[in-house]
Amino acid sequence: MNSCTERTIGIGLAVVLSCSLWLGGCGSGNESPVDDRGLSIRVTEPVQRDFDKIKEDGVLRMITRYSSNTYFLHQGIEWGFEYELVSRFAREHDLALEVVITGINESPYDLLNSGKGDLIAANYAATPERQRYVDFTRPYNLVDQVLVYSSELDNPPQTIEELAQSGLSVTVRSNSSYFHRMQDLKEEGVDIDVNLVPNEKDTESLLFDVSQGKYEVTVADDNIFQAAFSYMDGLVQGPTIAEKDTIAWAVRNNAPELKKELNNYLEGHFQLREDKEPKRSLFLQVLRKRYFEGGRRLANYYSPNPSIGESDGISPYDDLIKSVADSAGINWLMVTSVVAQETKFNPRAKSWAGAMGLMQVMPQYSEVSDTTLLYNEEINVREGVRILKRHLDHYSYMDSTNQWSFSLAAYNVGEGHLADARRLAIDQNKNPNEWEPVADALLKLMHRSYYRKARHGFCRGIETVRYVREVKNRYEIYRNVLTMRQLELNQSSPGVLGFF
C-alpha cells in the first residue's frame, strides 16, 4: 500500500484469451472465407487506431501465444522473450502494456484488425501469405526452419526428398509459416504428407508431443528447437527446410506511425551487417540467452504440458492468500494481483515511505502493535486484506467493477486524495461514482490550478490510475490463464476434474 508519491511496480498488463472463446466471436469487420493458404481470416478491414490513438489511450495491446518464448507466468510474475521486448518499448513510450492471448480457433489477425490488439508479437515470420492481411515491422531475428523427429523413429529421413517418400506425416498448424513452407515444397514437386492440428497448439507444445511419441515429425524454428531440446528428451533434429526467415512484429496495414515507432525501437536492438549476419544489442543478447539458451532452467518456468510443472498455482503464496481472502469474502486472485503489484511477492520489501511486507502495509494503518511482525507473511496478508476489505465495504453501494477500482485506488493513494478527486468530478458535473471521471480528476490533481484547491493537496494521480489498471489487468491474466490451463487439461485428460 503506497503513498501518493510512490512509484508503482511494473507495466500494466491484461490478458484476453480470445473473442471466440469468451465472447462467441469478434463480430466486427467484413467476413471472408478461410484463406487458401491456411489462414482463417474473418476481419479484413482494419480499424483506425494508429500510434496517436494508442498514446492518447495510454495502452499498447500485444497479441501473442502463451509459451516460454512469448509470454508466460512464473510464480505470479510475467515472463517471456516477446513480452520483455515489447515491455521495454512500452516503458520507453510511457505506455501500459496489455497482453492478448489467442484462444481456441482464434485468428491473431482478426484480433489485430478488429482493434482487440495493436501488434502481434509471437515469433512470427513475415510471410507473403500474412502480408496479404497485415503489415510487418523490420525484423528482430533470423531463423531457419528445421524438421524435428521423434527419437522413437528408426533411421529418420536425412533429406526432404526422403521424408516425402517415407510416408511419415509432418504435424503442423494450418496458420503457421511451417504449413506455408509445406505448400511451397509441394509446388516445387516435393509432396510431403501433412497432419494439421488446431491452431491453439503452439510450436513448443507440438515439440513436446513429438518428444512423447504422439506425433512422428513436426517443424520448428531452430532457436525454438534448441531451447526445447535442452530440456525435452526424445527429439532428433532433421534437415533444414527454410533458411533465414525474418521474424518481425505484425501491425495493421493502416498504422504507419506505429510501425515507424516500432522500427525505430527495433533498429536499436537488431541490425544486419554487410555480410548479412545479425548484430544485436546487449539487451537482445541477454533475452536470447535467457529464453533460447537457458538450458533446463527454462523447464522450471514453463511446461507446455499442463499436467507437469513445479507449481500448480499462480504464486508462492496461493494457499495463504486463498485462505485469508476466502475468510474475508473477497477474490483471492485480486489479492494475489495486489501482492504482485506491490512487491512481486517479496516478504521483506520496505518502501521509502515505510510500507512493509508482501502487501506493503503502512504501520500507522495496521492493528499490529509490533511492526516487525508485518514481515511475517501471514500477518501481513491478513492486515492487507483487512484494509482492502474495509475499502470494499466503504464502496459497497457501487457495482463490482467500480467498487474494486475505487477500493484499489484508496489502497494505493488513501481515501483523502480519492475524496478530493471525487469532489473535483462533481465540480465538473461528472459522476463521482464512476471510475473513469474520477481517474481523470486524479490526473488533474497533479496540476497546481486544481490541487491548490484540494483538501489534501498535490497527488501524483498518474501512478494511482496506473496502479488500478495494472492490478485489475493482472487479475485478468491470472483468471484467464487458469481457465486456459483447465481447458488444456480437459482436452489432454478427459474426465480429470480441475487443475488447481
Q: b/e string for 48-68 if b means 16 or more Cβ within 10 A?
A: ebbbebbbeebbbbbbbbbbb
Distance CA 480, CA 99 (A): 11
With beta carbons less than 8 A apart as the criterion, state whether 141 and 272 touch.
no
Distance CA 120, CA 99 (A): 10
Collapse the DSSP code of 356 into the 3-class scheme (helix H, G, I; strand E, B; otherwise coil) and give the result. Answer: strand
Query: Which runs of consecutive H residues, i.e. helices, occur in 238-317?
Result: 256-267, 282-292
The DSSP H or E segment spanning 144 is strand 141-150
Of the listed 78, 82, 342, 463, which one is catalytic? 342
Distance CA 77, CA 92 (A): 21
Q: What angle do CA 214, 217, 218 make, to 5 degrees?
A: 100
With beta carbons less than 8 A apart as the criterion, state whether 16 and 480 touch.
yes
Provide the terminal-to-terminal Cα distance of the chain, rounded to the nearest Å.
28
One-letter amino acid of 96: A
Mark whether 6 is an active-site residue.
Answer: no
With beta carbons less than 8 A apart as the criterion, state whether 334 and 344 touch.
no
Query: Whose grid coordinates read 511492526?
Result: 371
Q: b/e string for 121-136 if b means 16 or more Cβ within 10 A?
A: bbbbbbbebbeebbbb
With beta carbons less than 8 A apart as the criterion, state whether 92 and 265 touch.
yes
> At residue 32, what are phi and psi to the nearest 5 degrees?
-150, 155
Q: b/e string for 17-30 if b means 16 or more Cβ within 10 A?
A: bbbbbeeeebeebe
Q: Which residues are 251's β-sheet partners? A: 135
CA-derived radius of gyration, the chain: 25
With beta carbons less than 8 A apart as the criterion, state whether 332 and 326 touch.
yes
With beta carbons less than 8 A apart as the criterion, state whether 247 and 140 touch.
yes
> At residue 205, what are phi and psi to the nearest 5 degrees?
-65, -40
Collapse the DSSP code of 487 into the 3-class scheme (helix H, G, I; strand E, B; otherwise coil) and give the result. Answer: helix
Distance CA 324, CA 124 (A): 43
Distance CA 299, CA 315 (A): 17
Q: What angle do CA 10, 13, 16 make, to 5 degrees?
A: 165
Q: Is 239 exposed, middle or buried (0-12, 13-18, 19+ CB in 10 A)?
A: middle
- Residues carrying an active site annotation: 342
